[in-house]
Amino acid sequence: MAFRAVMSRRVTNRSSDIGARWMSTWWGNVEPAAKDPILGVTEAFLADPSPSKVNVGVGAYRDDNGKPVVLECVREAERRIAGHSNMEYLPMGGSVKMVEETLKLAYGENSEFIKDKRIAAVQSLSGTGACRLFADFQKRFRPDSQIYIPVPTWANHHNIWRDAQVPQRTFHYYHPETRGLDFASLMDDIKNAPNGSFFLLHACAHNPTGVDPTEEQWREMSYQFKAKGHFAFFDMAYQGFASGDPERDAKSIRIFLEDGHLIGIAQSYAKNMGLYGQRVGCLSVLCQDEKQAVAVKSQLQQLARPMYSNPPLHGALVVSTILGDPDLKNLWLKEVKVMADRIIGMRTALRENLEKLGSPLSWEHITNQIGMFCYSGLTPEQVDRLTSEFHIYLTRNGRISMAGVTTGNVGYLANAINEVSKSA
């Protein structure tokens, strides 16, 4: 064999040994991640072959047959869009028209802040993307700040601020015994936090508890925030799902605006327009003046650019088509109310069924709580029994997505809850 061929084989053998050694170490330290506490429930549900299985895990609306719903206003918007749009990139800040319409829902149709161009706002990848963009913005421009998060909260809030490397503190919110708001402790925590702290607030239909402050309590909170110079960041993922009316559900935000706060808001169309998979939402930050808003928006865009460049087009077009047309907007408002009312009906049905079964426990909180979720009070062990014995899937904190309850499964669900709640 020629000298060169022998040498090259030797080099190849040696380099492939080195290559193999490195290859075996690249990801050798990677352990499987823990299952997501919410989306992991959907995975387990899908893998269960039982015909009687019920999914009340993820917060996604279902009709009374348990089927996902595409709203009629969305169908009509898609018909109008079909063939009329190109596939160009949106700007880094997303669809200007969609953002404009979205701000009206949160800040008010005739908001002076919109007129005065004091709001820095960008289209976001739904509510999660809005929260994450804000968390990154907070880290970049207030690097020493922390975020106060309610106990409990949507599990992903913790992940979002953790990954943005913003330290987290908690504040009291839910009272397990009353199954309502722990308002006194909440106010104490607001008072005791260092001046100028960041707080994450759920604007309406608190996830997972379904417990919201009353209007009066929001006013007291706003007053105290002012006294302490705190910053309120509202996550409004369920506008319309609390009362059936998006305008009423924006009350908490309007109270803070009336009191002169500069706030941030995460908005989402996943739930109230049923655009879950389209990932369309908005992050806005109310600023001191137009100049500041221009600067803040440019920085939000600069954060977005290396992450995903610019947001997706289709969902944004659907939203702007609906909200930009008075008839379609009215149809949407009606459809939101239908969804909210079906959930309210299911709350009553679940409670009545449990009471008819002679459950000695109080189930009043099922109808007192609002929005998509019922924080049942079931323990993680009782939830495990619901899943293993009855094929009913929900998060281990006892949260029931009322949107997954139907006239067809409410009796089965009540019976199973009654059985597992007999033992603590």
- Amino acid identity for residue 140 in this structure: R
CB 36 to ligand LMR: min, Å: 8
CB 156 to ligand LMR: min, Å: 6
CB 44 to ligand LMR: min, Å: 14
Q: Which is nearer to ligand LMR, 197 or 239 (CB)?
A: 239
Whose tokens are 């503190």? That residue is 169
Q: What residue ranges bind ligand LMR (CB under 6 A)?
A: 38, 58-59, 154, 156, 207
Pseudo-torsion of CA 142, 144, 150, 154, nearest 10°? 70
CB 35 to ligand LMR: min, Å: 13
What residues are labeled active site? 154, 235, 271
Q: Is 287 exposed, middle or buried (0-12, 13-18, 19+ CB in 10 A)?
A: buried
CB 387 to ligand LMR: min, Å: 16
Q: Which is nearer to ligand LMR, 37 or 377 (CB)?
A: 37
Q: Which is nearer to ligand LMR, 58 or 103 (CB)?
A: 58
DSSP string, 38-86: THHHHHHHHH---TT-EE--S---B-TTS-B---HHHHHHHHHHTTT--
Cα–Cα distance, 340 to 233 (Å, whole number): 25
CB 342 to ligand LMR: min, Å: 17
CB 60 to ligand LMR: min, Å: 7
Q: Which is nearer to ligand LMR, 38 or 392 (CB)?
A: 38
Which residue is nearest to ligand LMR, using beta carbons? 59
Cα–Cα distance, 295 to 366 (Å, whole number): 45
DSSP string, 172-204: E-EETTTTEE-HHHHHHHHHHSPTT-EEEEE-S
HSE, CB side, 13 Å, CA atoms: give it for residue 414.
23
Q: Is 246 exposed, middle or buried (0-12, 13-18, 19+ CB in 10 A)?
A: buried
Residue closest to 322 by CA, chosen among 56, 27, 73, 84:
73
Q: Which is nearer to ligand LMR, 207 or 418 (CB)?
A: 207
First-to-last C-alpha distance (Å) of the chain:
80
DSSP string, 92-149: TT--HHHHHHHHHHHH-TT-HHHHTT-EEEEEESHHHHHHHHHHHHHHHHSTT--EEE
Cα–Cα distance, 297 to 284 (Å, whole number): 9
Q: Which is nearer to ligand LMR, 313 or 403 (CB)?
A: 403
SS3 357: coil
Q: Which is nearer to ligand LMR, 34 or 82 (CB)?
A: 34
